[in-house]
Amino acid sequence: MNVQTPDRKAGHAQDGDWLAADRADLPFFGDEHQALTRRLSDWARDAEREIAEALDLPPSEAVRRLTRLLGQGGWFSLALKAPADTRSLCLIREAFAYRHDLLDYAFSIQILAALPLALWGSDRHRAEILPRLCSGEEIGAFALTERDSGSDISAIGLQAVETEGGYRLTGQKSWIANADIADQVVVLTRTGAGTGPLGLTLFVADTRSEGCRVEPVELIAPRPFGDIAFDDFFVPADRLVGDKGMGLAVAIDTLERCRITVGAAANGFARRAVVEAGGHVLERRATGRRLADIPAVRGILTRMTAAMHLSQLTVTEAAWEMDRGGARKSPLSSLAKLHATEAAQGIVDQCVQLHGAAGLVAGSLPENLYRQIRSLRLYEGASEVQEDILSEAVMAGSLR
């Protein structure tokens, strides 16, 4: 088996190998995607020193630095160009996740905040707010989750009461990525009476205004994260994203597009685990032979590789279906996230297994991957939520 060996001593991938060289050769991709892989390879080489320097900083400062670096590299502008190109987003996230969790995190959360403005925002949003997000000058966040609603977006309780010139927000969002560093937060609120999916509206709020308070939350994989409390927080009327009462539709559209890219990030983690494990078993010796010469070890690595390739195909098909506006885009989005994240969890676990005790050492690459992959099975719709969506599609005959 020809397995590429990364530089484990330095703890980061070799220049230019963030994506497999033939990753965009599948018929789902076009010439522009092959050009994108070459651009990724060039940037991986040129920006490595600055990326490494940023990753030496505390997580919040690292994400600030990486967001600015990504903006300078034009990655946000490229990803948000019209028409929306989910396949490009997936290739970028797969590559960035292979390099480092925080690089993918900085890219993905900024895109999650900017995408609803690009697709549903007003001309003013696109002229004033979006360019600052694309350049990395400002940091974005996307705030849906509340402690009492969890994965049930329709149960949102944060109130937005209409007043002269805008709305006043009161309530709290929980477990929000980039909460403690965000300048602009896209927030889902309840503007209508009662509960349920009706009466939800999306705003883009400037967190530097009076009445916004953030409480950082620590995670098993360190990232800027926290709770955001709004206390009679004023949002001007021109900060409404989409139409009043249409917030749930905008949020779901955004999540369906980004959900596929979560699967792509999982593929990046999975490929890094496969490459790292492959390099390790080729070098490590036990009982007088390489681990790679033991049939059981070869079987593990083969199954890891097979699972990774199946996940790449699942995500690629889903992205292609989204870009062409196909009828199966919603269930395939859920399938991509479910399959890729669950598979990546197992692949990373096997990477740790093949490293033995060395894979449990704090700060080692297998240990980092093990902590970093776990959240992907939860955010932007837990695996059980995706299974529920898929079961409805299967029963309806739309996914068979």
pLDDT in tens, 71-110: 999 999 988 887 889 999 999 999 999 999 999 999 999 9
- Name residues whose C-beta falls within 8 Å of residue 138's C-beta, 6 or more positions apart in sequence: 129, 132, 183, 184
Lowest mean pLDDT: which of 143-157, 164-178, 200-214, 239-253? 143-157
Lowest mean pLDDT: which of 17-21, 140-144, 150-154, 361-365? 150-154
CB burial of residue 246 (10 Å; 0-12, 13-18, 19+): middle
Q: Between β-strands 184-190 and 140-143, what pairing exists: parallel, antiparallel or unpaired?
A: parallel
pLDDT of residue 296: 96
User: What band does 194 get if pLDDT is binned at 50, 70 and 90?
Assistant: low
Span(s) in the chain for CATH 1.10.540.10 = 23-135
| pLDDT exceeds cutoff 50 at 6 | no
pLDDT of residue 56: 97
Dihedral (CA of 172, 184, 112, 100) sign: negative
Question: Residue 332 in contact with residue 293, Cβ under 8 Å?
Answer: no
Nearest to 212 by CA among 162, 238, 173: 173
Topology of domain 248-396, CATH: Butyryl-CoA Dehydrogenase, subunit A; domain 3 (1.20.140)
CATH homologous superfamily for 140-246? Butyryl-CoA Dehydrogenase, subunit A, domain 2 (2.40.110.10)
Residues 134 and 75: their CA atoms lie apart, in Å, by: 8
CA-to-CA separations, 48 to 17, 150, 190, in angstroms, rounded:
12, 38, 44
Question: Residue 22 in contact with residue 15, Cβ under 8 Å?
Answer: no
Give the pLDDT mean for 184-211.
90
Torsion of CA 12, 13, 18, 23, to 10 degrees: -140
CATH homologous superfamily for 23-135? Acyl-CoA dehydrogenase/oxidase, N-terminal domain (1.10.540.10)
Residues 31 and 21: their CA atoms lie apart, in Å, by: 14
| pLDDT exceeds cutoff 60 at 69 | yes
Question: Residue 294 in contact with residue 302, Cβ under 8 Å?
Answer: no
Give the pLDDT mean for 364-376.
96
| pLDDT exceeds cutoff 60 at 144 | yes
Span(s) in the chain for CATH 2.40.110.10 = 140-246
Is the peptide bond prior to 83 cis by the omega test (within 30 degrees of 0)?
yes
Residues 280 and 263: their CA atoms lie apart, in Å, by: 25
Give the pLDDT mean for 307-316.
98
Residues 76 and 73: their CA atoms lie apart, in Å, by: 8
State the amino acid at position 365 in one-letter form. Answer: L
Residues 60 and 40: their CA atoms lie apart, in Å, by: 24
Give the pLDDT mean for 19-47.
93
Q: Identify the residue with better confidence: 351 or 9.
A: 351
pLDDT of residue 280: 97
- Name residues whose C-beta falls within 8 Å of residue 359's C-beta, 6 or more positions apart in sequence: 351, 352, 353, 366, 367, 370
